[in-house]
Structure 1
């Protein structure tokens, strides 16, 4: 005897999406931004990530609080394991870039994703999800409706081969399948004119040091060198970027 279940007749549904675009006139000061090749928390230094991964249910007796942690180390943007092309290729030449903006992407159950400078241990960005509390569109109860962002002003100067560390947190009181922990980072190539200005300034300072040696003799020259070294050290601190604390909105 075969059991028969009543299946409702399939119906067609129409859905509409509404979005807004903001734009402004292009001016010479505008600089193009692009997304860094990293970072997918399911990836590594050797392999590009799977984008999605599963979070198993926790055992509260061994993991009180039930927080699942996934951590990875990846190069900022060497191009060999790009997140957005889903194919590996030869690494690109190292270059200087500026980190302008970062924001995480997580699914339901996410507790936040953190970006660290692996060499210094500095926390660069902590992106935390906001959950909805209603029934209207854009505020769905229990679902991630936005992630906090980090803006770097001035931009943080880095190299594409710098290693960053990603730490992703999920509540695993219940299991989750197909979750994501991505960190989107907007980069801009460091302007060549800035590099030229730095090199020119260093050349001028070197010439001033030589002139001081000729004018004041050996003793005065030693004093001049000490002064130049002090000035150069302070100048480098001013021309560099001060490490930023995490900024979340």
Structure 2
């Protein structure tokens, strides 16, 4: 899957960047001009073992024509307390903009975009006549309190009667050999609870913090690409390659590897796919997205060069943001601006590595890229760089 946007999808526990200057550039920073706001999603209610996958439309996210610099999100209870992943597991969250007719009513990942770049939103020139810009929020959460198998619940395993689901979210029967992924843990499903466990239903919110600078500042806009290792990309018939057809499965399964079947990578399952980006540019930021069992993702250029390598950060405690056995963040890529360029139509190789010591379902291998079509105009100096 390739998603391209000038300001659209801000996703999944992931948005971005820190400053690194090449060539001794003189770059203005906006540290004293950054504004911020905190928003709450609509309330959602979960009981032990229950699953929510809701789409909220027209959510509160109106900050005008600006350039986003940072976007983070976390789950809180009604008292404003952070909720750890071992209690409420966020499978994913997404926020995106959409245009509606006026007549119709991971927490440790670095998320700062370096100056002078930003993600432009709220540009009235991009909104079709008769429409207005609104925001949509999707939250997919699994309540892990009291469940028999926390990993099995978060990996959405249909088998072993954890979910006992036989149909997907559209009412279509699942294949007999289907073991599990997000089709097993759709909205309203229930993961099996330990016998005798009782726990209250509770109200939760997704709290997201946004930072931005006003768009009248000189900001270089970024494009967003989301690459999926399950994408079986095909060139459209008669296509020049600018509009290929994508077939993303989103998640995949990893079978356990026996000692006899151990490969050169040890007990590691390696999945690769080739994807072309129609319109390239300079990579400003990159980060992977994986679930438990993930070992890392990497993106390679057509000539084999490493564009970005991102490895998971696993928690070691009980507190929110450091939950043991859960991926609480991913390492990020901040190449010197101008040092990593993807050419128009270049065929890239995305690689996802996952442990195969045991079966894993609901495995993901995604890479997010923020790309600038051109570098900021600046004066090249003969010695050290400076900021003002």
Task: Give TM-score, length-normalised by structure 2.
Answer: 0.40
More helix per residue: 1 or 2?
A: 1
In the alignment, what sits opposite 1:172? 356
Q: Aligned partners of 1:157, 1:169: CA distance in 2, in Å? A: 24
Structure 1 residues 72-91: aligned runs within 5 Å:
72-76=273-277, 78=278
Q: Aligned partners of 2:211, 2:217: CA distance in 1, in Å? A: 19
Q: Aligned partners of 2:316, 2:280: CA distance in 1, in Å? A: 43
Residue 9 of structure 1, CA deviation: 6.7
Q: Aligned partners of 2:320, 2:197: CA distance in 1, in Å? A: 27
Residue 96 of structure 1, CA deviation: 4.8
In the alignment, what sits opposite 1:50? 249
Residue 151 of structure 1, CA deviation: 1.4
**Secondary structure of the corresponding residue to residue 15 of structure 1:** strand
Residue 141 of structure 1, CA deviation: 0.2
After the TM superposition, which parts of structure 1 deviate over 6 Å for at least 4 consecutive aligned residues? 6-10
Q: What is the Cα-based RMSD across aligned positions, in Å?
A: 2.7
**Secondary structure of the corresponding residue to residue 61 of structure 1:** helix
- In structure 1, stretches of 5+ residues that fail to align are 1-5, 79-94, 195-237, 239-249
Q: Aligned partners of 1:10, 1:158: CA distance in 2, in Å? A: 51
Contact 1:104 1:128 in 2 (8 A): yes
- In structure 2, stretches of 5+ residues that fail to align are 1-194, 235-245, 381-388
From 314, 321, 324, the equivalent of 1:131 is 314
Residue 27 of structure 1, CA deviation: 4.9
Q: Aligned partners of 1:96, 1:142: CA distance in 2, in Å? A: 37
Q: Aligned partners of 1:33, 1:23: CA distance in 2, in Å? A: 14
**Secondary structure of the corresponding residue to residue 20 of structure 1:** strand
Contact 1:115 1:124 in 2 (8 A): yes
Q: Aligned partners of 2:312, 2:301: CA distance in 1, in Å? A: 21
Residue 28 of structure 1, CA deviation: 4.2
In the alignment, what sits opposite 1:144? 327
Residue 24 of structure 1, CA deviation: 2.8
Q: Highest CA radius of gyration, 1 or 2?
A: 1
Q: Aligned partners of 1:8, 1:142: CA distance in 2, in Å? A: 23
